[in-house]
Amino acid sequence: MHRIPRHESKCAAFHGHRYAAELECWAEALDDRGRVVDFGVIKERVGGWIDQHWDHTAILMRGDPDPAVATIVASNAAYGRPVYFLDVPPTAENIAAALAEISQDLLKDTGVRLVSLRLYETPNGSATWRAQA
């Protein structure tokens, strides 16, 4: 769940999406099995982080003035779920950038580099983050 403060339309209200993330990784060379990286490593590290921090919760902007935020935080805490706060509005673009930064850190010792990350809010709506050259 998220909302975009000051949004000019319906995204100003709390709502949810069925997010999906697509990561593109690069390595200097393929491993001895012909891979950049075992997909299980990506699933375990990045997927595990998403499950722990973003699954069944809310991604909100720190300082969101909506009075419901405090209620959401308290309710999630009662059910053992966090609320994840960004310092910027939780648009698809900003969520993609945050996940890319997190993914880079989670993958730094694997020998691969994150090249791009595409975050789907819906099957036909996405935002793409690309690494700087």
Domains of the chain: 18-130 (3.30.479.10)
56 is catalytic: yes
Q: Which of 17, 12, 43 is nearest to 119 (CA)?
A: 17
24 is catalytic: no
11 is catalytic: yes
pTM equals: 0.95
Q: Phi/psi at 51 (nearest 5 deg)?
A: -60, -40
* pLDDT by position in tens, the chain (length 133): 999 999 999 999 999 999 999 999 999 999 999 999 999 999 999 999 999 999 999 999 999 999 999 999 999 999 999 999 999 999 999 999 999 999 999 999 999 999 999 999 999 999 999 999 7
Could you say which of 11, 17, 24, 53 is catalytic? Answer: 11
Could you say which of 7, 22, 44, 56 is catalytic? Answer: 56
